[in-house]
């Protein structure tokens, strides 16, 4: 039952605001469901992929997206996605799990905090400096590869502040941007086998009606305030991951220290 509820609430947030998929799903799957970090990220990727496929027609109707900027973003983000995914794969050993949880918490908290930072706007930046957009998207792709989060929140912030697009075009462009990253990330993790099929099915059973409902009622909801609420919850979830990871690291270090002293032979009298 908890999987259905998690899927519905996360999907509702995505339908209403366009953000929150990886930022919510990964902490929920680690803290509430108990999945390993790499499996949580892989499952979150496929979950976000399906939800974005459903949400995309609602937001891109009427061609409310910028094809050139989408291409420039993907030019940098796709290599970053590969780098982040491979880095996560290098840390899948059980002994590294507390460190990965800690690092995921830091990434999720920092990326969600972007919502609350004062905007440094330069709406002519993308038009005058298009060659820089792939480089700005590279770390976004790397973060998405490692944590499945960031494409929605960071992509939206960058496009709102550094392009001349309208809000509707930003949402449509970023939704397609996140969709492509989710498809590629899902393929990588499917190949690695780091996906929980049973958990994914239950998430989608609750998530599909949730994202449709969110998209249908989004026009009547205050999107800006909702994004602040979504970001606040994501920051709290990230901090909880930091606490759990740090506590596990401390406990493991203390256990090793105790084990080391127990093997020390007593001095002869």
pLDDT for 135-162, tens place per residue? Answer: 988 888 888 888 877 666 677 777 777 7
What is the mean pLDDT of the segment spanning 117-134?
A: 74
The answer to whether the CB of 126 falls within 8 A of the CB of 164 is: yes
State residue 264's pLDDT score.
54
| % residues pLDDT > 90 (the chain) | 10
Residue at 258 is within a domain: no
Give the closest residue to 234 by CA, choosing from 88, 46, 25. Answer: 25
The predicted pLDDT at position 153 comes to 65
User: Cβ of 248: how many Cβ atoms within 10 Å?
Assistant: 15
Six-digit token string for 180: 């492509």
21-28 and 97-113 helices cross at what angle (nearest 10)?
150
Residue 257 lies in a domain: no
Where residue 17 falls (left for φ over 0; alpha for ψ -120 to 50; beta otherwise) is alpha
**pTM score of the predicted model:** 0.76
255 located within any domain:
no
Q: What is the mean pLDDT of residues 252-262?
A: 73
In this prediction, residues 225-251 reach a mean pLDDT of 78
Structure-block tokens of residue 211: 């994202």
Domain extent at residue 121:
2-250
Residue 7 covered by a domain: yes
Using alpha carbons, list the distances in angstroms from residue 144 to 60, 79, 117, 148, 159: 22, 11, 20, 4, 17
pLDDT given at position 65 = 79
Cβ–Cβ under 8 Å, residues 86 and 188: no
Q: CA of 17: how far to CAs of 70, 130, 164, 268, in Å?
A: 19, 27, 20, 70
Q: What is the pLDDT of residue 147?
A: 80
**Average pLDDT of every residue of the chain:** 80
Please check whether residue 116 lies inside any domain of the structure: yes
Q: Summarize the confidence of residues 18-23 as an average pLDDT.
A: 68
Q: Give the residue with greater pLDDT, 261 vs 214.
A: 214
Confidence of residue 254 (pLDDT cuts 50, 70, 90): confident
Judged against a pLDDT cut of 60, whether residue 267 lies above it is answered with: no
Residue 263 domain-assigned (yes or no): no
Mean pLDDT confidence for 179-189: 88
In a domain, 256, yes or no: no
3-state secondary structure of 131: helix
Closest CA to 97 of 261, 251, 268: 251
Q: Alpha-carbon torsion 169, 173, 179, 185, what sign?
A: negative
- The string over 138-166, giving b where at least 16 C-beta atoms fall within 10 Å of a residue's C-beta and e elsewhere, is bbbbbbbbbbbbbbbbbbbbbbbbbbebe
Residue 260 inside a domain? The answer is no
Average pLDDT (187-208) is 88
* Residue 263 pLDDT greater than 60, yes or no: no
For the chain, how many structural domains are there in total?
A: 1
pLDDT of the residue at 265: 54
The greatest distance separating any two alpha carbons of the chain, rounded to the nearest whole angstrom, comes to: 88
């Amino acid at each position: 039952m908890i999987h259905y509820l998690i899927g519905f609430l996360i999907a509702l947030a995505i339908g209403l605001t366009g953000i929150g998929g990886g930022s919510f799903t990964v902490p929920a799957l680690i803290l509430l469901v108990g999945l390993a970090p790499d499996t949580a990220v892989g499952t979150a990727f496929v979950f976000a992929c399906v939800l974005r496929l459903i949400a995309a027609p609602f937001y891109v109707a009427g061609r409310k997206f910028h094809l050139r900027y989408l291409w420039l973003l993907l030019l940098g983000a796709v290599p970053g996605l590969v780098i982040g995914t491979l880095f996560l794969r290098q840390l899948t050993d059980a002994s590294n799990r507390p460190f990965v949880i800690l690092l995921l918490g830091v990434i999720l908290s920092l990326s969600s905090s972007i919502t609350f930072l004062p905007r440094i706007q330069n709406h002519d930046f993308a038009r005058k400096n298009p060659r820089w957009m792939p480089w700005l998207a590279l770390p976004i792709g790397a973060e998405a590869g490692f944590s499945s989060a960031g494409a929605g929140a960071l992509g939206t912030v960058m496009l709102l502040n550094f392009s001349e697009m309208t809000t509707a075009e930003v949402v449509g462009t970023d939704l397609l941007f996140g969709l492509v990253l989710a498809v590629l990330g899902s393929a990588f993790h499917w190949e690695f086998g780091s996906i929980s099929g049973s958990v994914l099915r239950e998430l989608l059973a609750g998530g599909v009606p949730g994202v449709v409902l969110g998209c249908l009622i989004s026009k009547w909801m205050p999107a800006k305030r909702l994004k602040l609420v979504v970001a606040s919850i994501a920051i709290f979830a990230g901090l909880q991951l930091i606490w759990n990871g740090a506590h596990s690291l401390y406990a493991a270090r203390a256990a090793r220290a105790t084990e080391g002293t127990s093997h020390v032979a007593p001095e002869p009298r």
